[in-house]
Structure 1
Amino acid sequence: MKWNEVHTILSRRIGVNTLVFLVALALASAGNLRFWSVFVQAAGGLSVARLPLLAGSFAIVALFFHALLTLASFRRTVKPALIAAVLTASAASWFITEYGIVIDRTLIQSVFETDIHEAAELLNWRLVLFVALSGGLPSLLIARMEIRFPAGARGLAHRAGIVAASLTLAALLLLMLFKSLAPTVREHRELRYLLTPTNVIQATSSYARTSWSTPVAIAALGRDAVRGSRWTGQRRRTVSVIVVGETARAANFSMNGYARETNPRLAREAGLINFTKVQSCGTATAVSVPCVFSVLGRTRYDDAKARTQEGLLDVLSHAGFEVVWRDNNSGCKGVCDRVTFTDLSAPASGNTHCRDEECYDEGLLDGLPELIRRSSKDLVIVLHQKGSHGPAYAKRYPAGFGRFGPVCDTGNLEHCSREAIVAAYDNTILYTDYFLAQTIDMLREMARDDGIDTTMLYFSDHGESLGEGNMYLHGAPYFFAPDEQTHVPMMLWMSDGFADRFRIDPACLQARRDQVLSHDNVFHSVLGMLDIDTAVLNPKLDLFHACVRNG
Structure 2
Amino acid sequence: MKLKSLPPVQAPLLTVAASAFLVLACNASFWKSFVSATGGVQFGNVPLYLGAVLVLVLVFNLFLTLVNFRPLIKPVLIFLFLLTSASSYFMNKYGVVIDASMVQNVVETDVREANELLSWHLVQTVLLLGVLPSLIVWRLPLRFPSLRRDLLIKLGTIAGSVVVMVGVLMLLFKTLAPAVREHREMRLLLTPTNVFQATSSYLKHRWATPTTIAPLGTDASKGRLWAAAAAAGIERRTVTVLVVGETARAMNFSLNGYSRATNPRLAQEEGLINFSDVSSCGTATAVSVPCVFSAMGREDYSEAKARSQEGLLDVLSHAGFDVLWLDNNSGCKGACDRVRFEDLSKPVAGNKLCNEEECFDEHLLEGLPELIRNAKKDLVIVLHQKGSHGPAYWRRYPAEFNKFGPVCQTNELEKCSRESIIAAYDNTILYTDYFLSRTIDLLRKVAAEDGVDTSMLYFSDHGESLGEKNMYLHGAPYMFSPAEQRKVPMMLWLSDSFRGRFNIDRSCLAARSGQEFSHDNVFHSTLGMLNVNTAVYNPQLDLFHACVHGV
Question: Which bracket does the TM-score occupy, shorter chain normalised?
Answer: over 0.9
Segment drifting more, 167-176 vs 235-244: 167-176
Q: Does 1:6 pair with 2:2?
A: yes
Partner of 2:496: 496
Give the letter aligned to residue 265 of structure 1.
R
Asked whether the equivalents of residues 351 and 366 of structure 1 are also in contact (C-alpha less than 8 Å), the reply is: no
- 1:437 aligned partner, one-letter code: S
Distance 1:259 1:47 in 2: 39
The code of the aligned residue for 1:211 comes to: R
2:455 and 2:494 in contact (8 A); partners too: yes
Q: What corresponds to 1:377 in structure 2?
A: 377
Q: Partner amino acid for 1:462?
A: H
Q: Does 1:532 align with 2:528?
A: no
Q: Cα deviations across residues 167-203 of structure 1 (Å, max 9, x unaligned)?
A: 3432343333333212111111110111011111111
Q: Structure 2 CA distance, aligned partners of 1:105 and 1:39?
A: 22
- Aligned partners of 1:352 and 1:366 also within 8 Å: no
- Cα distance, 1:37 vs structure 2: 1.4
- After TM superposition, give the deviation of residue 228 of structure 1 in Å: 0.7
Deviation at 1:206, TM superposition (A): 1.6
Within 2, Cα distance between the matches of 1:246 and 1:143?
44
On the 8 A contact 2:460/2:489 being kept in 1, the answer is yes
Task: Provide the rounded CA distance (Å) in 2 between the counterparts of 1:17 and 1:358.
Answer: 51
Given candidates 142, 156, 175, the residue that maps to 2:151 is 156
Cα shift readout 1:473-517 (whole Å, capped 9, x = no counterpart)? 111111111111101000000000101111110100000010001
Residue of structure 1 in register with 2:99 after alignment: 104
Aligned ranges 1:5-84 → 2 under 5 Å: 5-10=1-6, 12-84=7-79
- Aligned residue identity for 2:94: Y
Residues of 2 paired with 1:169 and 1:531: CA distance?
Answer: 67
8 Å Cα contact 1:244/1:385 also seen in 2: yes
Q: Deviations over 1:451-477 (max 9, x none)?
A: 110000000000001111111111111
Partners of 1:161 and 1:240 in 2: CA distance? 69
Deviation at 1:342, TM superposition (A): 0.2
Report the CA distance between 1:352 and its aligned residue.
5.6
**Structure 1, residues 210-234: CA drift from partner, whole Å, max 9, x if none?**
2244643111111111111010114
CA apart distance, 1:160:
3.4
Taking structure 1 as reference, are residues 349 and 320 closer, same or farther at Cα in structure 2, changes over 3 Å only?
farther
1:79-228 paired onto structure 2 within 5 Å: 79-213=74-208, 215-228=210-223
Query: Match for 1:336: what amino acid?
Result: C
Q: Which amino acid aligns with 1:448?
A: A
Question: How far, CA to CA, are the matches of 2:4 and 2:113 in structure 1?
Answer: 43
Q: Secondary structure at the match of 2:27?
A: helix
Runs of at least 5 residues in structure 1 that lack an aligned partner in the other structure: none
Q: Deviations over 1:281-329 (max 9, x none)?
A: 1110011101111111111111111111111111111111111000000
Matches within 5 A, 1:350-499: 353-499=353-499
- The yes-or-no answer on 1:237 pairing with 2:237 is yes
What is the distance in 1 between the residues matched to 2:180 and 2:509?
44
Structure 2 distance, partners of 1:178, 1:226, is 61
Conservation of the 8 A alpha-carbon contact between 2:348 and 2:354: no
Judge conservation of contact 2:26–2:88 (CA < 8 Å) in 1: yes
CA distance in 2, matches of 1:271, 1:153: 82
Q: Could you say what secondary structure the match of 1:359 adopts? A: coil
Task: State the AA in 2 paired with 1:543.
Answer: L
**Distance in 1 between the 2:489 and 2:276 partners?**
7
Q: Secondary structure at the match of 1:271?
A: coil
Q: Distance in 2 between matches of 1:184 and 1:351?
A: 55
Question: What is the rounded CA distance, in whole Å, between the counterparts of 1:212 and 1:149 in structure 2?
Answer: 39
Q: Which moves more between the two structures, 156-165 or 40-49? A: 156-165
Q: Distance in 2 between matches of 1:94 and 1:7?
A: 26
SS in 2 for 1:358: coil
Stretch moving more, 422-431 or 12-21: 12-21
- Tell me which amino acid in the other structure corresponds to 1:163: I
Cα-to-partner distance string for 1:13-65 (whole Å, 9 max, x where unaligned): 21111000000011111111221111011111222332332222222211111
How far the C-alpha of 1:153 sits from its partner, in A, is 3.9
Corresponding residue for 2:342? 342
**Quick one: distance in 2 between partners of 1:8 and 1:116?**
38
CA distance, structure 1, for counterparts of residue 166 and residue 220 of structure 2: 56
For residue 89 of structure 1, report the CA deviation from its aligned partner.
1.6
For the 8 Å contact 2:292–2:520, the answer to whether it is kept is yes
TM-score by length of 1: 0.97
Residue type at the aligned position of 1:404: F
Asked if structure 2 preserves the Cα contact closer than 8 Å seen for 1:343 and 1:349, the reply is: no
Q: Kindly report which structure 2 residues correspond to 1:297-336, keeping only aligned pairs within 5 A, or say none.
A: 297-336=297-336
CA 184–155 in structure 1, closer or farther in 2 if over 3 Å, else same: same
What whole-Å deviation, never above 9, does each CA across 1:101-146 have from its counterpart, x for those lacking one? Answer: 1111111111111121111111111210121012111110001112
Q: Partners of 1:350 and 1:186 in 2: how far apart? A: 57
Structure-2-length-normalised TM-score: 0.97
| Offset of residue 349 of structure 1 | 9.3
| Structure 2: runs of 5 or more not aligned | none
SS where residue 439 of structure 1 aligns? Answer: helix
TM superposition outliers: structure 1 runs of 4+ over 6 Å: none
2:37 partner amino acid: A
Q: Partners of 1:415 and 1:46 in 2: how far apart?
A: 27
Q: Specify whether residues 350 and 171 from structure 1 end up closer, same or farther in structure 2 by C-alpha distance, changes over 3 A only.
A: farther
| Cα distance between partner residues in 1 of 2:498 and 2:103 | 42
Aligned amino acid, residue 121 of structure 1? E
CA distance in 2, matches of 1:351, 1:102: 39
**Aligned-partner SS, 2:162:** helix
Identity %: 61
Aligned residues: 546
Q: CA RMSD in A?
A: 1.5
One-letter code of the match for 2:16? F
